[in-house]
Structure 1
Amino acid sequence: MHFVYMLECSDGTLYTGYTTDLDNRIKKHNEGKAAKYTKFRTPVKLKYQEKFTSKSDAIKREITIKKMSRQEKLMLINKG
C-alpha cells in the first residue's frame, strides 16, 4: 500500500507526505529523522491519511494536497 498523510506539528503547522509504511514514518518524524521540516517541530500527530494501490496515484495526490491552502487542508481533515 501507498499512503499520503498529513501531520499536525507541535507548532500547529501541517505537513504532507508520502510513504509505504505509515507507522514507521510517523515514528521517524517524531524521532526527528524523517524530514527537515518536522525535525524541530515534534511531536507530530497524524491527522489524515489516504491509501492507494499505486505509487503514481499517491504521489499525484500528495502534490495536489500540498498545493491546497491551509483552510482547504483543514476541511479535508475534518471530512476524513
Structure 2
Amino acid sequence: MPWFLYLLECTDGSVYTGIAIDVAARFAQHASGTGARYTRSRKPVQVLAQFEFADRASASSAEYWVKRLRPPEKRALAAGARTLESVLPAPPVSEEPQEEAPG
C-alpha cells in the first residue's frame, strides 16, 4: 500500500509536512482540528503537493529530510522548482570488488 508525503499551506503562511495513506482524509482531519497539534492553531488552506512512496518507512524518511527545509524551499519543492531527490540523501554506493592490476 503506498504512503504519501504531503505539504500543506497554512493560514499563517507556514508549510506543514506530514505523511499519510489518504492525503484528502488527512487534510480533512487537519482542517477540522483533529489532525496534528501544529495545524490546530494554523489551519491548513490547501495541499501544496504530495509525493508517493512504496511504504511507510520510505515516506517517513523523506518526511525527516523535508521537515528540515525552510518554507521557501518547501514551496520550491511543491512547485516543481526543486526535486525531491535533491532533498533526500544520496543512496549508499555499493562497493564492488576491485580487480587487481596485473603486475
| Counterpart position of 2:68 | 67
| Counterpart position of 1:26 | 27
Does the CA-based 8 Å contact 1:29-1:44 persist in structure 2? no
Higher relative contact order (CA 8 A, sep 6+): 1
| Deviation of the 1:43 alpha carbon | 4.0
Name the CA distance, whole Å, in 2 between partners of 1:47 and 1:74: 8
* Residues 11-70 of structure 1: CA deviation (Å, up to 9, x unaligned): 111100011111110000000000100002224310011001111111010011001122
Give the structure-2-normalised TM-score.
0.72
Report the aligned-residue RMSD. Answer: 1.3
Q: Percent sequence identity over matched residues?
A: 35
How many residues are paired up? 80
In the alignment, structure 1 segments of 5+ residues that lack a partner are none
The list of structure 1 runs, each at least 4 consecutive aligned residues, that deviate by more than 4 angstroms after superposition, is: none
Structure possessing the higher radius of gyration over alpha carbons: 2
Give the structure-1-normalised TM-score.
0.91
